[in-house]
Amino acid sequence: MSDFHDHLATPAYKTSKAALNMLTAQYAQQYARDGFTVLAISPGWLCTDLGTDQADISVEKGAEKVLDIIQKATPDQNGKFLNICVPKSETRNGDPNEELEVKNGLLYASQ
Ligand SMILES: NC(=O)c1ccc[n+]([C@@H]2O[C@H](COP(=O)([O-])OP(=O)(O)OC[C@H]3O[C@@H](n4cnc5c(N)ncnc54)[C@H](OP(=O)(O)O)[C@@H]3O)[C@@H](O)[C@H]2O)c1
């Protein structure tokens, strides 16, 4: 794990996210035969109360991109974890409203 996360111990928080991944896998398996596609999506680092105004992506843009992924989801994505990722997020100081584009299931800030 990177040095960036050293000061963010939060073991209960991280354990809850691991549990969410298992819940996603379980529901994906259980409901696939009924035609459901179940995904876990990490929205990237958003400017919420938790994320602070130092984050990469505005709440509006983050919500828009999560909805976009959900609306375009296909059965072959069942059980997958999709991560909205802004390259070099840990070191950059970007504009949370800049245009983002989806590439290979990941979301990148356009360069
Ligand atoms: N922001 C990010 O960058 C980011 C990235 C990845 C994942 N997430 C995940 O997205 C989820 C929402 O995060 P956020 O950034 O939107 O956080 P947030 O702005 O701090 O909002 C948290 C929300 O949870 C509610 N809440 C807190 N404790 C609660 C409790 N005990 N019972 C019921 N509701 C409770 C709060 O209600 P009140 O307003 O009434 O306090 C608030 O509406 C979290 O699971 C977080 O891990 C966020």
CB 43 near ligand 1, within 6 Å: yes
CB 53 near ligand 1, within 6 Å: no
pLDDT digits (tens, 9 = 90+) for 19-74: 999 999 999 999 999 999 999 998 888 899 998 888 888 898 889 889 988 999 99
Q: What is the rounded distance in angstroms from the CA atom of residue 74 to the CA atom of residue 48? A: 29
Phi then psi dihedrals of residue 51, to 5 deg: -75, -20
For residue 14, CA distances in Å to 5, 8, 25 come to 11, 10, 17
Q: What is the rounded distance in angstroms from the CA atom of residue 93 to the CA atom of residue 80? A: 29
Nearest alpha-carbon partner for 63 in 100, 13, 23, 94: 100
CA of 50 to the centre of ligand 1 (A): 7
Token code pair at residue 48: 């919420």
